[in-house]
Structure 1
Amino acid sequence: MIYHGNRIKVREGADPVRVEEALESLHEQGRAIPAVRSFIVGRESGTDFDWGAIFIFDDLDGYWEYLVHPAHTRTERLGLPLMAKFETYDITDDDVPDFGAKVAELQKRKFKTDPELVKLLADLPSHTGSSAVAQDG
């Protein structure tokens, strides 16, 4: 299984209606993407982040399905402009050789097909983690 985490700090002054729309879109991608086995979206506490989300997939094929699904793309378009800080991470309990490199390759592949996403990520004040690794390539 792969556990894909997202941590979000909302920009100061972001329109609360747009923030709610983006959060609902996170929930919707969990419901709509067939590869998502389970998910949670909620407030984060004890950190500098406001919100967190975790999506669970069976394998890297499911991860790719998640990355390119229209529900995920919609969430990116709605949410990224509202963020002051964004961090992603991945955890697996499978013995996948070079897991991090394989995730980075999926991210790079996605970026090659989506220049608008690359621009949205480049405009973020802070972006770290597994989805940021691919920005170098």
Structure 2
Amino acid sequence: MINHIIRMKARADVTPEQVDEVLECLREQGRVIPEVRSFIVGRDYGSDFEFGAVFVIEDLAGYWAYLVHPAHGHTDRIGLPLAEQFDTYDVSDDEDPEFGPKIAELHRRRYQEDPELAALVAALPQFSGNGAA
């Protein structure tokens, strides 16, 4: 299993309504992407991040399907331009020592296949984690 975790801090000029829109987009991902086994979306407490999400996905094939699903792309196009700080990472019980590089390769492939997304990611003021280009 893979727990895909994202955390975001919005820019100072972002309205509460814009944040609510991003939260709803994240919830929609959880509802409509078939590979998502469970999810939680909400406010982030105890850090500088404002909100986050956790998506539970069974395996790398499901992770890829999640990454390229239109609902995920829609969330990226709505949310990434609003981010001051963005963090994404994965927790998995897979014992493969190459599991982390395999996840990073899926992100690299996605950016290669979607130049518009790659430009959004490159424009982020602060981005860390497996999805960082």
| Cross-structure match for 2:28 | 28
Instruction: Read off the aligned partner of 1:116 and give its amino acid letter.
Output: E
CA distance in structure 1 between the aligned counterparts of 2:79 and 2:38, rounded to whole angstroms: 21
- Note if 1:52 corresponds to 2:41: no
> Which residue in 2 is equivalent to 1:77?
77
Aligned-residue RMSD, C-alpha: 0.8
SS of the residue 2:36 aligns to = coil
Q: Return the offset for 1:10.
A: 0.8
Instruction: For residue 19 of structure 1, report the CA deviation from its aligned partner.
Output: 1.8
Matched residue SS, 1:131:
coil
Deviations 1:110-129 (A, max 9, x none): 01111111111111110000
Mapping of 1:1-137 within 5 angstroms? 1-132=1-132, 135=133
Q: TM-score under structure 1 normalisation? A: 0.94
**How many Å separate the matches in 1 of 2:105 and 2:13?**
35
* Aligned mates of 1:113, 1:19 — CA distance in 2: 28
Structure 1 residue identity aligned to 2:71: A
Q: In 2, distance between residues paired with 1:15 and 1:45?
A: 19
Indicate the SS of the match to 1:13.
Answer: coil
Shift of 1:97: 3.1
Quote the Cα distance in structure 2 between the aligned partners of 1:18 and 1:8.
13
The SS at the match of 2:13 is coil
In structure 1, what is the Cα distance between the partners aligned to 2:50 and 2:56? Answer: 21
In 2, distance between residues paired with 1:66 and 1:8? 19
TM-score where L is the length of structure 2: 0.97
Aligned-residue offset at 1:13: 1.2
Runs of 4+ in 1 over 4 A off after TM superposition: none
**Percentage of identical aligned residues:** 56
d(CA) in 2 for partners of 1:122, 1:86: 12
Unaligned residue ranges in structure 1 (runs of 5+)? none
